[in-house]
Every structure is written in C-alpha cells, then in structure tokens.
Amino acid sequence: MSPKNAFRVAGLVATIAMTAIPGRAEAYRRPAPSSDYSMEVVVDGSPLAVYSARGTTYVEALKGREYAIRLTNRTGERVAVALAVDGLNSIDAKHTSSGEARKWILAPWETVTLSGWQTSSGTARRFVFTSESKSYGTWLGHTSDLGVISAAFFREAKRLDEIAPALSLAEPRFKRSAENESRADAPSEKAQGGIKGMAKDELAATGIGREVENHVTQVDFDEEDSPASTLSVRYEYREALVRLGVVPACGGDLARREHAHGFVEPGFAPDPYRGGR
C-alpha cells in the first residue's frame, strides 16, 4: 500500500495527509472518556447538546449560525480523519468513500477544531447552518446526504518489517467493498416520514460562509485499509427534531413559562437602589 497525502494542523498550521487537514489545533484538556476518538459540533466554542433516538445521534442546528467540528484523538498514535459534511469532503468537497477521501492528520492525544471548507492552502470558508436550497451541496449539485456529518478515523499502517514475524499467525485480510457497506447514517423510513411534509427551506443543511485564514501543510501518511472508528451525527432544526420525536414539543423558554407561578412566598418588592434582591 502506498503512502497517501494528508493534511495536518500543527500549531497554527493544519496538516493534510498527502491524504489533507483544514483547521487549527486547539488546546483542549478534559478527562478522557472510554472512546478513543470523538467528534463534536461546536457553536461559539461550546459543543451542541446531543440527542439519541432510534440508533441515530442528533444535534439541533441553529439557523444562520456558524459552526465548527471538533475532532479528538485519545490514543498514543497519530490518525488520519476523513471528514464529510453533507456527504462532501471538508478538504476538496468531493463525494467519495471514506477510504478514498483526503484526510486530516491528528497527532497523538491531539484535538483539532475545523471551522470550514478548505478552499486553498491558506484559507477556508466557514460552515454555516442554512436551508437545503441555500446549501453548498445544492450549489454543487449533490443533495443526497444533506444533514449528516461523518468522521472516519484511520490508524497508521504498520510497516512490513514490523509485522512480518506475525504474518504466519494472522488471518487473511480483505479490503471491504463499498457495495457491501450499510448506510448506518441514513434515516429510517419512520424518521423520514416525520419530516416528509416539511419544505426544503425548513430543513437544515450546511452553507459555505465567510472566508477565514486557515493554513495547511501536506504530510505522508500510510493508512490502514478500513477505519478504526466512524462517527456520524445528524443535524436538524428544532421543528424537525420535534416532529421526529427526538425532543419534546415544549422546551427551552416555553417550558420555563409553562411552569411559571404567580405567587411563591410572602415578602416585599426588592429595592435595586438599596442592594435588595
């Protein structure tokens, strides 16, 4: 297997595998969970709340807001990550299998935050929640995977001289055919029915927003044939999440108002000019 080119974010520079990487490395310390890899959808520096229903992970899209994708590698080895937004690779906007996609490189124990589509070696354009009709996918003529973000993490392949002594004990390896892969990220018929009557302008997709500086470099990376982990999240506007039964119809400020009471306890009106509260 020959090395691919990949992109990497190092310091202020992203690393793309001669397989590629857009985005900037971000110092991010927290207790390591059980999973080796993670993906979060981030708005204004904070990850969106995650909902689980029918075996699918959802987040609520915030109309008109820019967002980023935070990828974390919690292993002692570097990995290559194929990141697809609405089915389009975040580096070159091509629609391919994860194995064929250009990839970002994460160093051991590294977290990177990718804020947009990589449009050159020094610039990117922000991910932004918009409608299907205004999405980047629609502009490119590819609309079959709108509303899904997927990240496939590939380990670095071992050199032949490192694994030769164990070859006699290993079982034969076969490259997985794309025709036999199940569409785990595809919504179920029941889920599709929940939003069937909604207009395209009411359904979330990702647009291509303002230009930001984002420098990338290319490095050699020889990846394994199959991803070690693939993470997917589906995003929808709140109305769609309600219709799908993912979140309750009454939430947020409306839920607070529903539980409001006219009287709580006796007392006097506080005087803000006397420090009362």
Q: What tens digit of pLDDT does each residue of 70-107 get?
A: 999 999 999 999 999 999 999 999 999 999 999 999 99
| Helix intervals (H) in the chain | 136-140, 160-163, 189-194, 238-244, 253-258
The answer to whether 258 and 60 are in contact (CB under 8 A) is: no
Residue 107 phi/psi, 5-degree rounding, is -70, 170
Percent of the chain with pLDDT over 90: 57
Q: What value, to the nearest 5°, has the Cα angle with vertex 10 and ends 96 and 153?
A: 35
DSSP letter, residue 186 = S
Residue 114 lies in a domain: yes
- Report how far residue 216's alpha carbon sits from residue 108's, in angstroms, rounded to the nearest whole number: 18
Residue 256 lies in a domain: no
Domain around 240: 4-251
Residue 270 lies in a domain: no
Provide the number of structural domains found in the chain: 1
Q: What tens digit of pLDDT does each residue of 138-163 get?
A: 999 999 999 999 999 999 987 655 54
Q: What tens digit of pLDDT does each residue of 44-61 get?
A: 999 999 999 988 999 999
Residue 259 lies in a domain: no
pLDDT of residue 54: 85
Helix (H), strand (E) at residue 257:
helix 253-258
Residue 157 lies in a domain: yes
Q: What tens digit of pLDDT does each residue of 209-231 get?
A: 999 999 999 999 999 999 999 99
Residue 187 lies in a domain: yes
Residue 274 lies in a domain: no
